[in-house]
Amino acid sequence: MQPRPAFNIDKKANSMDFRALQVDNGDSGYRADIKTLPISVLGEGGVLVKIAYSSLNYKDALAVTGKGKIIRQFPLIPGIDFAGEVLESDSVAFVPGQQVILTGWGVGERVNGGLAEYARVKPEWLVPLPAGLDVHQAMAVGTAGLTAMLCVMALEQHGVAPDSGEVLVSGASGGVGSIALALLANLGYRVVAVSGKPELTPWLIELGASSVLLRESIAAAARPLESEQYSGAIDTCGSSVLAGLLPRIRYGGCVAACGLAAGFDLNTTVMPFILRGVSLAGVDSVMCPLPRRNEAWQRIARDLPLSLLARLSRDVDLARVEDECQRMAAGGARGRVVVRMEA
């Protein structure tokens, strides 16, 4: 079979303007403004994608509000993920008209990101849209859902199975936690959800939780070893929540740690590791190798009940992004927020 040729189809694309949310940190202070920009700000080469949807993650909230040192250079378009259609490509791996997903790789941190109508990125950063997902569903899942799936895969690889006993998900009302909860429940696990928002208990039960605990009950100071309660856990919080989880994990169990919403410190002991053989598995979705990334997206298309996405997510337009980020950075996250880029 002859290799497919590279495509560069659109000379007029170089003269287009597009809308984007751009963050700057200059004489006027830290600002996020919707601007009309020339396509040339995206540079040359790689793959030009017309973005249909982006999404808002905790990292985006920190980037847009300036409450975290996420953006490395200014001005920059934030947005760590997007889904859309290839317009032009200098790679044989992608052709115009193909639908693709991007998450991570420093996009929206070091290079212009997904809160825009167009993006130009390296082809090796893209994943073909899996069969069974459309671009809207892909961003209802987004970086948060990819992270959740990688956590589920980590538990599986450490032998945590549905018949092993209860598993716990911390930060269950957030983006990663809510999708992790739905995935685990659909795979047959009995899931205990941990949340700091007791008013969301009915929603968490609807997503598949068998019971719901308040975050304080886990984050309270624990002894080096507590009674063995959970075969595994997915922790999105870090700090005192993760420290409170580890002493409660059963012999040979595993905690997949993927977040620091409660803090990046970890005050614990080695006792769970050396006396119960507990594993602490770090999960990173930003630089996740492409084969594992592709596997995770295929698993999402197969194992996530897509009918739940309407209850897990809601749509906003670009004008609402700054307000949503302020709410999310203040701890007001519930599920997923999808950003419509198409008019």
Q: How many CB atoms lie within 10 A of CB 220?
A: 10
Q: How far is CA 134 from CA 129, 286, 291, 295, in A?
A: 7, 22, 21, 17
What are the E-state strand segments in the chain? 17-26, 29-38, 47-56, 81-89, 99-103, 118-121, 126-128, 167-169, 191-195, 211-214, 230-235, 249-257, 279-282, 313-317, 336-340
CA proximity to 178, closest of 155, 156, 153, 200: 200
Question: What pLDDT shows up at residue 343?
Answer: 60
Rounded Cα–Cα distance for residues 157 and 342 (Å): 39
Question: What pLDDT shows up at residue 194?
Answer: 96
Contact 300, 145 (CB under 8 A): yes
What domains does the chain contain, in order, with CATH numbers?
A: 12-129+307-340 (3.90.180.10), 143-282 (3.40.50.720)
Q: How many CB atoms lie within 10 A of CB 141?
A: 30
Per DSSP, what are the bridge partners of residue 212?
193
Contact 52, 85 (CB under 8 A): yes
* Spacing of C-alpha 30 from chain mean position: 25
CA proximity to 91, closest of 114, 120, 117, 62: 120
Q: What's the pLDDT tens digit per position in 136-164?
A: 999 999 999 999 999 999 999 999 999 99
What's phi and psi for 90, nearest 5 deg? -105, 15
Which residue type occupies 102?
L
Burial class (CB within 10 angstroms; exposed 0-12, middle 13-18, buried 19+) of 223: exposed
DSSP 78: -
Question: What pLDDT shows up at residue 5?
Answer: 41
pTM of the model: 0.91
* Spacing of C-alpha 72 from chain mean position: 20
Alpha-carbon radius of gyration of the chain? 21
Residues in CB range of 53: below 8 A, 6 or more apart:
82, 83, 84, 135, 136, 138, 139, 338, 339, 340, 341, 342
Question: What pLDDT shows up at residue 66?
Answer: 93
DSSP secondary structure, 158-189, as one string:
TT--GGG--EEESSTTSHHHHHHHHHHHHTT-
Question: What pLDDT shows up at residue 14?
Answer: 58
Contact 61, 67 (CB under 8 A): yes
Question: What pLDDT shows up at residue 113?
Answer: 96
Residue numbers in the chain where pLDDT is lower than 50 = 1-9, 11
Q: How many CB atoms lie within 10 A of CB 330?
A: 11
DSSP secondary structure, 85-119, as one string:
EEEEESSTT--TT-EEEEE-TTBTTTB--SSBSEE
Burial class (CB within 10 angstroms; exposed 0-12, middle 13-18, buried 19+) of 45: middle
